[in-house]
Amino acid sequence: MTLVPVVHAFGLARTAADASEDAYAVDVDVARFALADGASSAWRAGDWAAALVASWVSTPRPRARGGGPAEGFARWLEGARKAFVPEGAAPADQAWFATAAAERGAHATFVGLELTGLGGRRPRLRAFAVGDSCLLHVRADRLELATPIDDPAAFGSHPQLVSSLSGSPAPAPVVTETAVQADDLLLLASDALAAFLLRLAADGDAVWPALRRIDTAGFARLAGEGIASGLLERDDLTLVRIVLAPAPVAAPGGSTSPGGSA
């Protein structure tokens, strides 16, 4: 059986005054997906988050040149960094604070997902996560795994971050691999949203079936109610929903933008 990722994405900015510094990217053709959350006090955080996810979905699998997953991740990251800030790009006459901020670099948390074997007998997922952007894997309305954090109380205020500075040490990603099957629900969620969803699930709410059906209006309603109840932190919120649907005939063409709303 061939599986086809059916993708929808939803997003809300923390305030109306500033654009969300979360970013996501999807390429169904190559079954690669990513979400990044720009650090709120960092230079070009949203731009770096967008560059990271775009690079992830457009780059071949990290292990393509040999080595373990962490080495492949480090190689991919260095390429993303060099593409983000081309050498010699900063003008010499820019203000002292712009120079100093650029020297410090941009920072973001990141989760990248790749699916393999979707047309074969052993489809699998592999996720690379740094910080507190999360992958949640749901099967038959039960949470199979949450990575890199599975406890809503474990989300802190100082997550590990991916720096844009070329040559700086690459953070060791949390790498997770497991089998997937038809009708599995895969969710990429930014930190506050992931913590909220895990808390709802821990409290016995039927959050996973609700997320299978949720639309843009429903997502806004869920977020609003969560913030009003105090269970959801007011933050940029992004959710990428991937349902592994059995393909009736052949897989449809891919797209770099999800078939949903954001």
Partner 1 sequence: MSYDRRIDREHPSLVLLLIDQSGSMSATMGSDHRTRAQAVADAVNGLLFELVLRCVKDAEEGPRPYYDVGVIGYSIRDQVGPAFSGELEGRRVVSSVDLAEHPLRLDEQTNGSGGGVRRPVWVEPVAIGSTPMCEALDLAGTICAEWIEEHPHSFPPVVINMTDGVANDGDPAHWAERLTELATTDGRLLLFNASISTEAGGTIAFPSATDELPSDEAKALFAMSSELPPFMVDAAATAGREVREGARGFVHNADVSAIVSFLRIGTATVHALPGAGA
Under the binding rule (CB under 8 A), the answer on residue 233 touching partner 1 is yes
Provide the minimum distance between the beta carbon of 102 and partner 1 in the complex, in angstroms, as a whole number: 7
Under the binding rule (CB under 8 A), the answer on residue 14 touching partner 1 is yes
Picking from 189, 199, 194, 181, the residue whose alpha carbon sits closest to that of residue 139 is 181
Provide the minimum distance between the beta carbon of 51 and partner 1 in the complex, in angstroms, as a whole number: 13
Under the binding rule (CB under 8 A), the answer on residue 153 touching partner 1 is no
Provide the minimum distance between the beta carbon of 98 and partner 1 in the complex, in angstroms, as a whole number: 4
Stretch that binds partner 1, among 100-108, 120-128, 133-141, 181-189 (CB under 8 A): 100-108
Take residue 198 and report the two structure tokens written for it.
Answer: 């895990």
Token pair 């720096």: residue: 163
Residues 119-138 that bind partner 1 (CB under 8 A): none
CA distance 134 to 109: 9
Under the binding rule (CB under 8 A), the answer on residue 234 touching partner 1 is yes
Pick between residue 40 and residue 256 the one whose CB is nearest to partner 1: 40
Which position among 58, 99, 116, 147 is part of the footprint of partner 1 (CB under 8 A)?
Answer: 99
Pick between residue 50 and residue 211 the one whose CB is nearest to partner 1: 50
Which position among 97, 142, 204, 228 is part of the footprint of partner 1 (CB under 8 A)?
Answer: 97
Tally: H helices and E strands in the chain: 6, 11
Under the binding rule (CB under 8 A), the answer on residue 15 touching partner 1 is yes
Pick between residue 51 and residue 125 the one whose CB is nearest to partner 1: 51
Residue 202 main-chain phi, psi, to 5 deg? -65, -30
Residues 31-50 that bind partner 1 (CB under 8 A): 39-45, 47
Q: At what angle do helices 69-84 and 45-58 cross, to 10 degrees?
A: 130
Provide the minimum distance between the beta carbon of 162 and partner 1 in the complex, in angstroms, as a whole number: 11
Q: Exposed, middle or buried: residue 192 (CB in 10 Å: 0-12, 13-18, 19+)? A: buried
Alpha carbon separation from 65 to 59, 84, 126, 160 (Å, rounded): 12, 22, 17, 26
Start-end of H helices in 155-202: 191-202
- Side by side, which strands form the sheet with 3-12? 3-12, 237-246, 185-189, 134-139, 142-147
# of chain residues touching partner 1 (CB under 8 A): 34
Interface contacts to partner 1, rule CB under 8 A: 14-15, 17-18, 39-45, 47, 90-91, 94-104, 107, 156-158, 160-161, 233-235
